[in-house]
Structure 1
Amino acid sequence: MKPDGKLRALVVAGMILVLPDPAHAFDLAGAWATSAGQCGKVFARKGRANQVTFTNFSGIYGGGFIAEADRLRGKFENCKIKSRKDDGKDLNIIVSCASGIMVSNVQFFLKVVDDDTITREFPGVEGMQISYHRCKL
């Protein structure tokens, strides 16, 4: 290798070392409850497909939501994800929700605490947030 070829290889190798890691999308899929200890009271598996669903009295135990590839489901809402911005630590999701009598767009600001904990923030409402924990069902 020529001397200028070695220099070029060193420069390229150095650039690779200083480039930031690309942000990895957070895997939101699963059942999320407001209390990890209440997962069995908020969610159940039902039917032939053993699908995760809400228990009859899930709201009494804090409630939660079920995230799928292109949907967020609540006890009484079914929302289609319209857009998602994700940098691995912050998620900004806009969904279109149908609740039986009306359709509305809702924006979710989520902060990733760890793989099994997220916090929903409410911009403009100082100090208001709700933590959710991933349920292992």
Structure 2
Amino acid sequence: MINIRNIQVLTVAIVMASSPASAIELTGAWASEADMCSQVFSKRGSHVAFTEMSELYGSGFIIEGNSIRGKSANCTIKSKKENAGSVEISAACATSIMNQDMKFVLKVIDDNNISRSFPDISDMSVKFTRCAM
């Protein structure tokens, strides 16, 4: 006799086995120049922020949950799609003068290095390093 409980457990096991072991972890402060992290970001308690003159030392962004903060823009992630070591992101971004929907891809190089590219701009990518904060 077939036990419904056993079928449910087997179904869950098959789904879990076919799912990726873990999601790509992007939380953190990311700078375009690894040796400039302390010039781009500062930390007070558990809060990470941009230094006053960060743009003189490179670009960067901070990812926390569904939020991406840049020096002059704040974005809310609307959707993420992981695909073979990269994450396609669609985000709603706002600056002090405009709102814009953005799409970009973050390709994982290793745990602390990614490259960002935009689907509409071919052959342009920028490497970013996760800063130890």
Same fold (TM > 0.5) = yes
Q: TM-score, normalised by structure 1?
A: 0.79
- The 1-side partners of 2:28 and 2:78 are apart by 18
Q: Judging changes above 3 Å, is the alpha-carbon distance between structure 1 residues 70 and 125 closer, same or farther for their aligned structure 2 residues? A: closer
Choose which of 30, 42, 54 in structure 1 pairs with 2:50. 54
Alignment correspondent of 2:75: 79
Aligned positions of 1:19-38 closer than 5 A = 22-23=19-20, 24-38=22-36
Range 20-29 or range 80-89, more displaced: 20-29
- Work out which of the two has the higher radius of gyration on C-alpha atoms and give 1 or 2: 1
Letter in 1 for 2:80: R
Residue 136 (structure 1) aligned with residue 120 (structure 2): no
Which structure is higher in strand share? Answer: 2
Residue 116 (structure 1) aligned with residue 112 (structure 2): yes
Instruction: After the TM superposition, list the runs of 4 or more consecutive aligned residues in structure 1 that deviate by more than 4 angstroms.
Output: none
Letter in 2 for 1:22: S
**Contact residue 77 and residue 91 of structure 2 kept, 8 A:** yes
> CA offsets, 1:22-70, max 9 Å, x none?
3231110000000111000000013xx4410000111111120000101
Q: How many residues align?
A: 119
- The 2-side partners of 1:88 and 1:60 are apart by 34
Segments of 5+ residues of structure 2 without an aligned counterpart are 1-13
Instruction: Quote how far apart the aligned CAs of 1:101 are.
Output: 1.9
Q: TM-score, normalised by structure 2?
A: 0.81
Identity fraction in percent: 41
